[in-house]
Amino acid sequence: MDLHTLSVAALQQQLRSGAVSPVEALDALEARISAVDSKIGGYLSHNMTHAREEALRADISKPLGGIPIAIKDVINVTGEPCTAASKILQGYTATYDATVIQKLRAAGAIPFGRLNMDEFAMGSSTENSAYQRTANPWDLSRIPGGSSGGSAAVVAADEAYASLGSDTGGSIRQPAALCGCVGLKPTYGRVSRFGLIAFASSLDQIGPFTKTVEDSALLLNALAGRDPMDSTSIDTPVDNYTRLLGQDLKGIRIGMPKEYFIEGIDPQVDTAVRAAIKQYESLGAEIVEVSLPHTEYAVAVYYIIATAEASANLARFDGVRYGHRADNVQNIVDHYMRSRAEGFGEEVKRRIILGTYVLSSGYYDAYYLRAQKVRTLIRQDFSRAFEKVDALICPTSPEVAFKLGDRSDDPLKMYLADIFTIAANLAGICGISLPCGFANVDGTKLPVGLQLLGKPFEEAKLLQIAHAYEQSTPWHLERPVV
């Protein structure tokens, strides 16, 4: 048995039976990372000494007892670097645990390693990191998706049993689709954002990457809940997210948004997703066509609201207290300008400039205020659709993973990679991506992702629907050869 290939649920069984110790599970990961991460580039760092100390005292009777969970480098873990893959935070060490890390520890898990990402979570390919590129385990010449590309790649390559990422406009679901693993974006407010370096505060949400839907449910059980440290977290009861797994789909209605099945989708992606829809029908679900009429405005609305919030959130990074500081500055203004110019990458600068522009005097009403009004219309579209159906089904990404460097010089084309994921963040609903087949591109198998979107705070039903499909198909059992 290769320990590193196990799911969280399978490893849990091994640990509880005494067949495997937490230290052995960690050692298996270390060996796998040593063997393949030089090709993948998923980890920015990992502290084996500290992780082994935690493994030695792990309580395996707890829900996630003794299980290592890898962490996107935008979530604070005490004593670990937290750079958001940016030069401006180079050398910064976190002084506290994010709430999700506290919750993982309380459940017995071992936070382990720092994962590569697009700088400040701004990107769709993990090529914007200040430190390294991450490759797709299915084809090392292709991108893993972004911004949580490291989080997806290490799970797909069996370098992690599970990982945490963040999703602002698709940054969990899109890389999960392109790497062939499961990515869950919980409802906005379901999981605390305290200790997450903010990109866009009204859109960001932390969620898990896993090998199976069951594992996503197990992690959400640990992560979900009201947090007094996060004013946007919602005080609503936490479900047992494994409760509905295994139940049939009789009586379940699933909506096909006609705006998500359009020209321009890769034909192989379209074929795989339509086959998944047929599979749902065979499982007893009723498929209903629905309309989300304001979908066409989602990308424009997102890039106004997200950049506006980013320009405000990133103003705090000035090189005064921590992180990159320019040398030989002339005065305080020179210090700010040069430290930020040197510390931020091109994409981050682009978004700060865009956000500052749409918030500026004379443009606020024309752009930001109007975008917020259209956001309300998008949210209302989903509310009306969910009056008729239990979930929505569509592609996660319009295409499979593209080549590294293909879109580096075309920001607009890069932004369109998230066209099917952005609206869920604007509406604040939950969503999941899971494997639904493969495309054959020049003789290479590349994963296709199926996206399911659910009603706010109904993750248990969303996971039930995802699990039923997953267990009736072989796609989640396929692993890349790295």
How are strands ordered across the β-sheet holding 286-290?
43-45, 110-115, 68-72, 163-166, 206-210, 182-185, 430-441, 444-454, 391-395, 253-257, 286-290
61 in active site: no
Q: Among 7, 72, 166, 455, which one carries the catalytic annotation?
A: 72
**122 phi and psi angles, rounded to 5 deg:** -105, 90
Q: Among 124, 125, 147, 151, which one carries the catalytic annotation?
A: 147
Which of 137, 147, 154 has its CA nearest to residue 445?
137
| DSSP strand pairing (163-166 vs 68-72) | parallel
| DSSP strand pairing (110-115 vs 444-454) | unpaired
Q: Among 148, 171, 216, 397, which one carries the catalytic annotation?
A: 171
| DSSP strand pairing (163-166 vs 182-185) | unpaired
**468 phi and psi angles, rounded to 5 deg:** -60, -45
Contact 255, 389 (CB under 8 A): yes
H or E element, residue 414: helix 411-415
Which CA distances in Å does 18 have to 13, 14, 39, 108, 217?
A: 9, 6, 33, 16, 24
380 CB-near residues (< 8 Å, 6+ apart)? none
Enter the tokens of residue 222: 């640990």
CA atoms of 416 and 430, how far apart (whole Å) = 21
Residue 389: strand, helix, or coil: coil
441 CB-near residues (< 8 Å, 6+ apart)? 139, 400
455 in active site: no
171 in active site: yes
CA atoms of 64 and 222, how far apart (whole Å) = 8
Contact 442, 136 (CB under 8 A): no
**Other beta carbons less than 10 A from residue 342's beta carbon:** 14
CA atoms of 220 and 460, how far apart (whole Å) = 10
Classify the phi-psi angles of 323: left when phi > 0, otherwise alpha if psi is within -120 to 50, otherwise beta.
left
Catalytic site residues? 72, 147, 171
